[in-house]
């Protein structure tokens, strides 16, 4: 039944193994040999599915980027006042980050030694710029504090959100945890921790 | 004048070179050979100052930890309502992080393969707990929103603050930038971005 195990491999299962190994060893530190061992299939079987590890990286970060960019087209992100839209995008970004945790973790760790890595970093910056534009629009509508620098606030907001990949570990028994986390991030960023005075 | 250059080396200058190399290559990936080349002095000259790379790591993370813990003993951190104290600690933590950027960067990247690394992680957790205790006290005094989970809020607050080591690069011409950054972090965390309603 050795071949049966091989037959169960699809590009998707191979991708999830590759993402785990990339996150553990770093993309640079991962060889096709490492991927072959982790997947339990030969290198030639991997080449049957993909052209090499860079294609696996591209597919993995695309999954994260597609999830993030899709948020920007949701009704909550395109209708209403800018402050409500950016708060919606903040909550949904947290939810996508948690739903696609290994893929977004990889995206955030990419450092730019290959064309695919540079492309991923460029797309990630584009997403950040789209959110920064929403924050600017909210400031222009008078809904954000005038004494806060929007560029700094954008960095800090993403610093807070992206830190989740470092410390968040899903609890299988905690239903609704994802929504609670998204709510907490949005409350902290937009309303602050302090009781209204 | 070769020896003159060697004579200028003090434990402090050696430390700043070591911290730069640790941050570039990772602590695990740094050998005494790398340190010797970067410092431009022989390995035996390094051993004249320190017992090895682990002592350099301990001194470097101690500098970061001493700076952070000192904040907790400052008057602003020990007098007044808890919410004011934790806001003060937040601002001062940002200022220490920027003042000691390479040292705190190293501290935050330490991952625990040696006794020194595990000690540093333990001390860092202790600092986080001290701040979490302040947040709990502020909540107990009714000054923090009741609908926010303090454990989550602590993680997010440090996620935001610690992200600075990834993206902040000092501008030599921007006087007051450090204070502005500290103010922005404190505003965002405690008052939120939204205009008071």
pLDDT by residue (tens digit) across B90-148? 999 999 999 999 999 999 999 888 999 999 999 999 999 999 999 999 999 999 988 88
- Note whether residue B196 is domain-resident: no
Whether residues A96 and A146 share a domain: the answer is yes
Cβ–Cβ below 8 Å for A148 and B193: yes
Three-state SS at A79 = coil
Cβ–Cβ below 8 Å for B194 and A190: yes
Contact A60, A127 (CB under 8 A): no
| pLDDT of res. B2 | 46
| pLDDT of res. A10 | 76
Q: At what angle do helices B115-140 and B53-72 cross, to 10 degrees?
A: 10
- Partner residue facing A159 (CB), from B148, B163, B191: B163
Whether residues A68 and A46 share a domain: the answer is no
Whether residues B29 and B80 share a domain: the answer is no
| Strand-pair partners of B38 | none
| pLDDT of res. A175 | 66
Give the mean pLDDT of A170-197. 83
- Note whether residue A196 is domain-resident: no
Contact B181, A149 (CB under 8 A): no
pLDDT above 80: residue A38: yes
CA distance B110 to chain A (A): 13
Burial of B34 (0-12, 13-18, 19+ CB in 10 A): middle
Cβ–Cβ below 8 Å for A149 and B196: no
Give the mean pLDDT of A17-23. 96
- Note whether residue A76 is domain-resident: yes
| pLDDT of res. B7 | 52
Contact B82, B150 (CB under 8 A): no
Interface of A with B (CB under 8 A): 83, 135, 142-145, 147-149, 152-153, 155-164, 166-167, 180-181, 184-185, 187-196
The C-alpha R_g of chain A, in whole angstroms, comes to 19
- Note whether residue A183 is domain-resident: yes
DSSP notation for A7-61: HT--HHHHHHHHHHHHHHH-STT--HHHHHHHHTS-HHHHHHH-SSHHHHHHHHH
List own/partner pairs for B45-50 with CB under 8 A and 24 or more apart. Answer: B45/B6, B45/B9, B46/B14, B49/B9, B49/B10, B49/B11, B49/B14, B50/B11, B50/B14
Whether residues B173 and B127 share a domain: the answer is yes
Whether residues B22 and B110 share a domain: the answer is no
- Closest chain A CA to residue B194: A144
- Local confidence band at A3 (pLDDT 50, 70, 90 cut-offs): very low
- Structure token pair of residue B115: 């006794």
**A88 membership: H or E segment, kind and range:** helix A82-99
- Note whether residue B130 is domain-resident: yes
CATH code assigned at A19: 1.10.10.60
Domain span including residue B105: 61-191
Cβ–Cβ below 8 Å for A160 and B162: no
Size of interface A-B (CB pairs under 8 A): 120
Distance between CA atoms of residues A145 and A168, nearest Å = 30
Number of domains in chain B: 2
| pLDDT of res. B80 | 95
Distance between CA atoms of residues A44 and A46, nearest Å = 5
- Closest chain B CA to residue A182: B152
- Partner residue facing A190 (CB), from B153, B157, B193: B193
pLDDT above 50: residue A125: yes
Whether residues A44 and A67 share a domain: the answer is no
Plot region of B42 (φ>0 → left; ψ -120 to 50 → alpha; else → beta): beta
| Strand-pair partners of A194 | B144
Q: Which of A159, A177, A182 to mutate to test the interface with B (most CBs of B within 10 A)?
A: A159
- Partner residue facing B191 (CB), from A152, A155, A192: A192
Q: What is the pLDDT of residues B18-65, one digit of tens each?
A: 999 999 999 999 999 999 999 999 999 999 889 999 999 999 999 999
- Partner residue facing A189 (CB), from B166, B180, B193: B193
- All residues of chain A having their beta carbon less than 8 Å from the beta carbon of residue B158 are 163
Whether residues B45 and B96 share a domain: the answer is no
Residues 6+ apart with CB under 8 A from A73: none
- All residues of chain A having their beta carbon less than 8 Å from the beta carbon of residue B164 are 159
Lowest mean pLDDT among A40-44, A127-131, B69-73, B105-109: A40-44
Give the mean pLDDT of A6-33. 87
Whether residues A66 and A120 share a domain: the answer is yes
Q: What is the pLDDT of residues A76-91, one digit of tens each?
A: 999 999 999 999 999 9
């Amino acid at each position: 039944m050795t071949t049966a195990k091989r037959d169960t491999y699809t590009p998707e299962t191979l991708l999830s193994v590759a993402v785990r190994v990339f996150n553990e060893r770093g993309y640079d530190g991962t060889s096709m040999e490492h991927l072959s061992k982790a997947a339990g299939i030969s290198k030639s079987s991997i080449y049957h599915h993909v052209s090499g590890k860079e294609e696996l990286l591209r597919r993995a970060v695309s999954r994260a980027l597609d999830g993030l960019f899709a948020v920007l087209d949701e009704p909550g992100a395109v209708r209403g006042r800018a402050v409500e839209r950016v708060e919606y995008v903040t909550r949904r970004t947290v939810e996508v980050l948690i739903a696609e945790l290994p893929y977004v973790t990889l995206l955030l760790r990419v450092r730019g030694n290959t064309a695919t890595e540079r492309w991923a970093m460029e797309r990630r910056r584009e997403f950040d710029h789209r959110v920064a534009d929403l924050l600017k629009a909210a400031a222009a509508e008078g809904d954000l504090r005038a004494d806060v620098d929007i560029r700094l606030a954008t960095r800090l907001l993403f610093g807070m959100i992206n830190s989740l990949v470092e410390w968040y570990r899903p609890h299988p028994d905690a239903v609704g945890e994802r929504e609670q986390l998204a709510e907490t991030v949005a409350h902290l960023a937009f309303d602050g921790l302090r009781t209204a005075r």
